[in-house]
């Protein structure tokens, strides 16, 4: 039973480029959460999605950031026109349902903006 998969593990982008981060939840999980972790800080919630629906995006910056979780395929976190301040580790977690107590985290994608 594979865990949460994220790719790429490391991503380097120049300022102004687009970054696409992928997350495949655990088998049987239909709920996905994205978190961002800046250096020396705790994880900050960004967005919570179910298949084809955004449930809570209150932690998502209003501009340049978007997320989706299509019926087929992984969840995508997209950052347009990246800036140096976007450099961080982005973690995805999945759970089988809204009331589930455990969130299972992936290994993260480390984004570096040069």
Partner 1 sequence: DAKTTQPPSMDCAEGRAANLPCNHSTISGNEYVYWYRQIHSQGPQYIIHGLKNNETNEMASLIITEDRKSSTLILPHATLRDTAVYYCIVRQDNQFYFGTGTSLTVIP
Applying CB under 8 A, among 13, 19, 77, 106 the residue interacting with partner 1 is 106
**Per rule CB under 8 A, is residue 96 in the interface with partner 1?**
no
> What's the CA gap between 3 and 93, in Å, rounded?
10
The Cα 2–Cα 13 span in angstroms is 29
Number of residues binding to partner 1, judged by CB under 8 A:
26
Q: Which of 10, 15, 27, 44 binds partner 1 (CB under 8 A)?
A: 44
Burial of 37 (0-12, 13-18, 19+ CB in 10 A): middle
Binding status of residue 108 toward partner 1 by CB under 8 A: yes
The SS3 call for residue 31 is strand
Query: Which positions lie near partner 1, rule CB under 8 A?
Result: 4, 33, 35, 41-45, 48, 55-56, 58-59, 89, 91, 93, 98, 101-108, 110
């Amino acid at each position: 039973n594979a865990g949460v998969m994220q790719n790429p593990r490391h991503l380097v982008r120049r300022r102004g480029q687009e970054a696409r981060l992928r997350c495949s939840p655990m088998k049987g999980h239909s709920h996905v959460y994205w978190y961002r972790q800046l250096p020396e800080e705790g994880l900050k919630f960004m967005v919570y999605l179910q298949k084809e629906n955004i449930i809570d995006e209150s932690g998502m910056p209003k501009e340049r950031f978007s997320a989706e979780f299509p019926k087929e395929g992984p969840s995508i976190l997209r950052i347009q026109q990246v800036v140096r301040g976007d450099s961080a580790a982005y973690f995805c977690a999945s759970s089988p349902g809204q009331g589930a107590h455990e969130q299972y985290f992936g290994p993260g994608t480390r984004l570096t903006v040069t």
